[in-house]
A and B are shown apart, each in its own frame.
Chain A
Amino acid sequence: MRIVCPFCGERELGEYTYLGDAKPQRPAADAGEDAVYDYVYLRDNIAGVMSEHWYHGGGCRAWLKVTRNTLTHEISAVEPTAGAGAAKVGV
């Protein structure tokens, strides 16, 4: 499998680490135990198109959001996560 890193270009699978479903959002600090439980443990395992977190540890160390079809391994989109990339100069 090959993933096109938005920072490094097309690289092979061995440079990446898979985390899983990118959909769950970490609840706010006061969201309560049930919400955090859902966030930590409840994951979709879709036979089809899925949004996933991948880490380019063998390259730029960016966390990426990869849209992948789990049946065909076809990758239709790769985006950097919100905090990936350069320092927030001037923010």
Chain B
Amino acid sequence: MVGSAQTHRLTSGGLIDRSTPLSFRFDGKTFTGFQGDTLASALVANGVKLVGRSFKYHRPRGILTAGSEEPNALVELRSGARREPNTKATTAELYEGLEAASQNRWPSLSFDVMAINQLFAPIFVAGFYYKTFMWPAKFWEAIYEPAIRRAAGLGRAASVPDPDHYDKAWAHCDVVIAGSGPAGLTAALAAGRSGARVILCEEDFVLGGRLLADGGMIDGLPAAEWIARTRGELAAMPDVRIMTRTTLFGVYDGGTYGAIERVNDHLPVPPEHQVRQRLWRIVAKRCLVAAGSIERPIVFAGNDTPGVMMASAMRSYISRYAATPAGRIALFTNNEDGWRTVETAIAAGLQVAAVIDARPDVSPAHRSLASKGGFPVLNGSVSAVDGGKNGVRKIAVSLTGGARAEVEADGLAVSGGWNPAVGLTSYHRGRPKWRDDIAAFVPDGAPPGMVAAGAANGAFGLGACLREGFEAGAAAAQDAGRSGNIGSMPVADDEAFSLTPLWHVAGKGKAFVDQQHDVTASDVELAQREGFQSVEHLKRYTTLGMATDQGKTSNVAGLAIMAAVTGKSIPETGTTIYRPPYVPVAIGAFAGHHRDENFHATRLTPSHHWAAEQGAVFVDTGLWKRAQWYPRAGETDWLQSVTREVKAVRGGVGFCDVSTLGKIDVHGPDAGAFLDRVYINSFSSLAVGKARYGLMLREDGIVYDDGTTSRLAEDHYFLTTTTAKAGPVMQHLEFCRQVLLPELDVQLTSVSDQWAQFSIAGPKTRDLLKEIVDPAEDLSNEGFPFMGAREVKLSGGIKARLFRISFSGEMAFEISVPARYGEALVRNLMIAGKPFGVTPYGTEALGVMRIEKGHVAGPELNGTTTAADLGLGKMMSTKKDFIGRVMAGREALTAPNRQVVVGIKPTDKARRLRSGAHIIPKGEVPGPDNDQGYVTSVCFSPVLDQWIGLSLVERGRERIGEIVRAHDPLRGEEYDVELCNSVFYDPEGGRQRG
């Protein structure tokens, strides 16, 4: 189907490029518009009035505004993975091939089944969710919620991942300006001329703000020419950055502002390697809010009929887009400004049916305009609008004095005055103040560094906007230390201002306050009757202002109606708290590139690429990817591979990359004394050339971390942490050093990334090492005894560190080389180790061997265990103070019935043991009262040929040999297990010392 061909486009004028026609589709129909159109203006130009159905009642809705405050004209833009629900047609730029669909209707926009909701309107009143769908609770999930969601869904989000990219960036400047209307432009001029670094943010795709629609003469130039000249001057300033399609949406502490730049939303698809949107964090010394003001509706019956439009929006469509929302318009105004729409309409050749002016007096100039134009000026207000989905037909007018009149028109422009955009200035819990002279809230102070100017500050005249902006721009630049010559201030006349407040016209039929959430004037009155009188209650009970438009056109009217029914003044009634973002911001923009595999950084071990070549299976360990096992041809099961690796180590030699351990160099004359204070055991007594296992506590007495620390020189220790705690331990040690022990002369250096470290283990370890270590190095038991640690020279001259420590229980060394040699070392180990059957092993085999040896790790160092619980209580020195010493002595932490680490194995050797199973005394019914602990770590032990594990069990070590029950309700299992010594393999330790 082909839609009408721009039947409502004026033959000339407007800021559209008629040489670039664009074809687009709305609800399957094809239309054309021009470059420079929004979707809304293109629909207006094609005579489309009905663009959506409302949220609750499915009432036909048209276009109310021409900006980001739009509550009605929300569409699904694009299709497939790029489908975006609730997109404002009034800000969506038209592009060739644009596809949009109306929302909230089924099966079609003009025939919507759910419009029957209107007949049931009494049950859809304020608070109806709370009142209607109370119980039974299970009905919520099964019936109510799905039905409500389907009925009130608005747009549908895409159901597949967003294919586009989003970016995040920082910017720094002296002055950031929100808005490029007359105040924003003069602010930028003054600040820019001062020499300030300026960022000018404009949410529209062109500069100018209301000047684009309302024109005027500035410095003797027509507005369009003045904008062009100003833009040229700003663009020529090297330190002024103009950012169109960018909305300043939030204010954060310390002069940080959030802005969203819609980089490529105006194109069907972003160009290759470009982002769709960019989230800016702008740090500015000063912020000028020149965000203008928003024209407010008057609430009357049928005010949501398509064809009822804000007066200023109607001017925008006619002047800026050369599109006529109606052929014969009426104006309902309570102020002088609304009349400009009549002037604009007449100039465009439209008919004016009538002006309904609620003010007692209309200026002689307007009276003569009316008589020249041949239309009546009715003193009164609109009480009802007659019309349905095809738009306004008749307008009922209550005349002052009580008489009634009727006006025939197909469009009604409404102006209830203007509300300054007080969002940005109020985001730090600021409360705007009421100004009676303009009957509007204006900013009352602002977050530090911020100031409002122009219409956003309640200065509505063009001349006032230019002046406030210019002065504020100059002051902001000065505050930022810039004092260049600001030149002359652009000048213009101020328009006349006259307004008689009018919020709500009583009448029959639904009168909408919040059109996006279908909140009516009677909902507000009902809320008052039911006691929800505070504005915060009003908001939550009726959902007024809680839609994506955040009530930009409805909040003030809502609280004015509440004020009227409670007999309070508007300032007494007050405003709700303002919260960012000023416009909806896509979650994708907040995420930026941090999604999928880039959600966080990935750290690769020095042997990673080599391991990948070997076909290693990797496991995520924090940010690290670690080789979990190295499957070989013919192996079908991870357990097969892991068992082979364990056997190869225990029977020959293997190696494992342990570079992920945290590594810290501790330097200084007081290094030993420092370590004595952070570990429970002594390190000052450690001989140079020796390593020692250390345990550190938190100050509350619970075990924090463990690892091996070696003394490489009198004043140099090399400390290792667990992989998981590498960062936190560094932070903790710095705290101890800087805050608790500042008197000690010691320095810490994180060297985790500087060293590639490998564990080489198994009875043939020495044979392998001899192949790569300089022959002069003595690796014999005498020359390099167990727990020895020193620097060695490798064949070829590279210096390495060698530590004779063992996690596996075998004869083992750990070797460190500068990280850049890590991969070469691995490849050399493979070549040199070939005769010995060297086998790389992963974290699984590492884990099996540590459980066989009864070494504790993460599952036992779980933030609840003490040193004694782990069987390491004897390590706690009584000769010195250390972190956690006093608190570790508390009664409950030393109680005899604590759960302590003990070995565990099923009595049935064929049974698989599972971690997490609870330990219950034999013969008792499992329950919290007799839960005595749980299984923490399990593995299949190739040495014992059965599943074994470690557990935390009450008095576990006193009960060795006892049979208890392992109760695993998660897997529906229960079986006998025997408590046993936690060192399953070589308890005498002869192998690692050999």
Give the interface of A toward B (CB within 8 A): 1-2, 12-13, 17, 19, 26, 29, 31-33, 36-37, 39-41, 53, 55, 57, 61-63, 72-75, 80-84, 87-88, 91
Tell me if B253 is interfacial: C-beta within 8 Å of chain A.
yes
**Chain B residue nearest in CB terms to A85:** B738
**Residue of A13, A37, A72, A87 touching B747 (CB-CB under 8 A):** A87
1/0 per position for B266-284, CB-CB distance to A under 8 A? 0000000000000001010
Residue picked from B281, B730, B738, B745, most chain A C-beta under 10 Å: B738
B734 with A55: CB separation less than 8 A: yes
> Is the Cβ of A2 less than 8 Å from the Cβ of B256?
yes
B252 at the interface (CB under 8 A from A): yes
- Which one of A72, A73, A75, A83 contacts B738 once the chains associate, using CB atoms below 8 Å? A83
**CB-based contact B735/A36 at 8 Å:** no
Contact across chains for A82 and B881 when beta carbons are under 8 A apart: no
Query: B739 within 8 Å of A by Cβ?
Result: yes
CB neighbours of A19 from chain B (8 A): 735
Q: A55-B731, A57-B731 are in contact. Are A37 and B887 (CB under 8 A)?
A: yes
Can you name 12 A-B pairs with beta carbons within 8 Å? Answer: A1-B254, A2-B254, A33-B887, A36-B699, A40-B700, A57-B727, A63-B734, A63-B735, A72-B428, A80-B738, A83-B738, A87-B747
- Given A19-B735, A81-B739: A36 and B886 interface contact (C-beta under 8 Å): yes
- Determine if B256 and A83 form an interchain contact, defined as CB atoms under 8 angstroms apart: no
A26 and B734 contact, CB distance less than 8 A: no
> In the complex, what distance in Å separates the CA atom of A1 from the CA atom of B255?
8
Given the complex, which residues of B lie within 8 Å of A57, measured CB to CB?
Answer: 727, 731
Task: Please pick, from A55, A73, A87, the residue contacting B253 in the complex, using a CB distance under 8 A.
Answer: A73
Chain A positions within 8 Å of B730 at CB level: 61
A70 to chain B, nearest CB (A): 12
Say whether B742 contacts A81, CB under 8 Å: yes
Contacts of A87 in B (CB 8 A): 668, 745, 747
A75 contact set on B, CB distance < 8 A: 254
The CA of A73 and the CA of B252, in the complex, are separated in Å by 10
The 7 closest A-B pairs by CB, nearest first: A83-B742, A2-B254, A82-B742, A83-B738, A29-B881, A1-B253, A36-B886
In angstroms, Cα B742 to Cα A91, docked, is 12
Are A12 and B256 closer than 8 Å at their CB atoms?
yes
User: Which residues does B use to contact A, with CB under 8 Å?
Assistant: 252-256, 281, 283, 428, 448, 668, 699-700, 727, 730-731, 734-735, 737-745, 747, 881, 886-887, 889-890
Give complex CA distance A67, B253 in Å: 15
Contact between chains at A26 and B740 (CB < 8 Å): yes
User: From residue A52, how far is it (CB to closest CB) to chain B in Å?
Assistant: 12
Contacts of A33 in B (CB 8 A): 886-887, 889-890
Given contacts A81-B742, A83-B741, contact A55 B735 (CB under 8 A): yes
**B887 in complex: contacting residue of A40, A62, A81, CB < 8 Å:** A40
Of A1, A63, A72, A82, which is within 8 A of B252 by CB?
Answer: A1
Are B737 and A40 in contact, CB atoms less than 8 angstroms apart? no
B255 touches A17 (CB 8 A): no
**Chain A, residue nearest B447 (CB):** A72
Not counting A1-B253, A81-B738, a sample of 15 additional A-B residue pairs whose C-beta atoms are within 8 angstroms of each other reads A2-B253, A2-B254, A17-B731, A19-B735, A33-B886, A39-B699, A40-B700, A41-B700, A55-B734, A55-B735, A57-B731, A63-B734, A83-B738, A87-B745, A88-B745
Q: How far is the CA of A82 from the CA of B739 in the complex (A)?
A: 6
User: How many Å from the CB of A35 to the closest CB on chain B?
Assistant: 8
CB-defined contacts of A40 to chain B, threshold 8 Å: 699-700, 887
* Assembled-state Cα–Cα distance A74/B428 (Å): 12
A33 to B743, CA, bound (A): 24
Which A residue sits closest to B882, measured CB to CB? A29
Q: Is the CB of B255 within 8 A of A2?
A: yes
Of residues A40, A57, A83, which shows the largest number of chain B Cβ atoms within 10 Å of its Cβ?
A83
Which chain A residues border B881 with CB–CB below 8 Å?
29
Tell me the smallest distance from the CB of A79 to a CB of chain B, in Å.
12
Pick the most buried of B281, B448, B745: most chain A CB atoms within 10 A of its CB.
B745
Residue of B nearest to A86 (CB): B747
Chain A residue at minimum C-beta to C-beta distance from B890:
A33
Return chain A residues, CB-CB under 8 Å to B745: 87-88, 91
Q: Are A82 and B738 in contact (CB under 8 A)?
A: yes
**B886 & A53 in contact (Cβ 8 Å cutoff):** no
Least distance between B862 CB and chain A CB atoms (Å): 19
CB distance from A11 to the nearest CB of B (A): 10
- For A53, the chain B residues whose CB sits under 8 A away are 735, 739
Q: Which residues of A contact B743 (CB under 8 A)?
A: 83
Q: Within the complex, what minimum Cβ distance (angstroms) separates A16 from chain B? A: 11
Q: How far is the CB of A13 from chain B (nearest CB, A)?
A: 8
Residues on B with C-beta less than 8 A from A36 are: 699, 886-887
Min CB distance A30 to B, Å, is 9
Closest CB in chain A relative to B888 CB, distance in Å? 10
Distance between Cα atoms of A60 and B744 in the complex (Å)? 19
CA distance A91 to B747 in the complex (A): 14
Q: How far apart are the CA atoms of A82 and B745 in the complex, in Å?
A: 12
Task: Determine the distance from Cα of A19 to Cα of B699 in the docked complex, in whole angstroms.
Answer: 14
Q: CA of A55 to CA of B700 in the docked complex: distance in angstroms?
A: 20
Q: State in angstroms the CA–CA spacing of A2 and B256 once bound together.
A: 8
A88 CA / B256 CA spacing, docked (Å): 37
B residues within 8 A CB of A72?
428
Given that A33-B890, A36-B886, A40-B700 are contacting pairs, would A84 and B256 also be in contact in the complex, using a CB cutoff of 8 Å? no
- Rounded to whole angstroms, the CA-CA distance of A71 and B648 in the bound complex is 62
In the bound complex, residues from chain B placing their C-beta under 8 Å from that of A17 are: 731
**What separation, in Å, do the CA atoms of A37 and B887 have in the docked complex?**
7
- What residues of chain A lie closer than 8 Å to B253, measured between beta carbons? 1-2, 13, 73
The docked-state distance in angstroms from the alpha carbon of A41 to that of B732 is: 17
Give the distance in Å from the alpha carbon of A84 to the alpha carbon of B731 in the complex.
13
Least CB distance, A73 to chain B, in whole angstroms: 4
Is B889's CB under 8 angstroms from A84's CB?
Answer: no
**Chain B residue with the shortest CB-CB distance to A89:** B745
Q: How far is it, in angstroms, between the C-alpha of A91 and the C-alpha of B669 when the chains are bound?
A: 11
Closest to A62 in B: B738
A2 close to B283 (CB less than 8 A)? yes
Complex: chain A residue closest to B880, CB-CB: A29
How distant is B746 from chain A, measured CB to nearest CB, in Å? 9
Contact B283 A63 (CB under 8 A): no
A87–B749 CA distance with the chains assembled, in angstroms: 12
A17–B735 CA distance with the chains assembled, in angstroms: 12
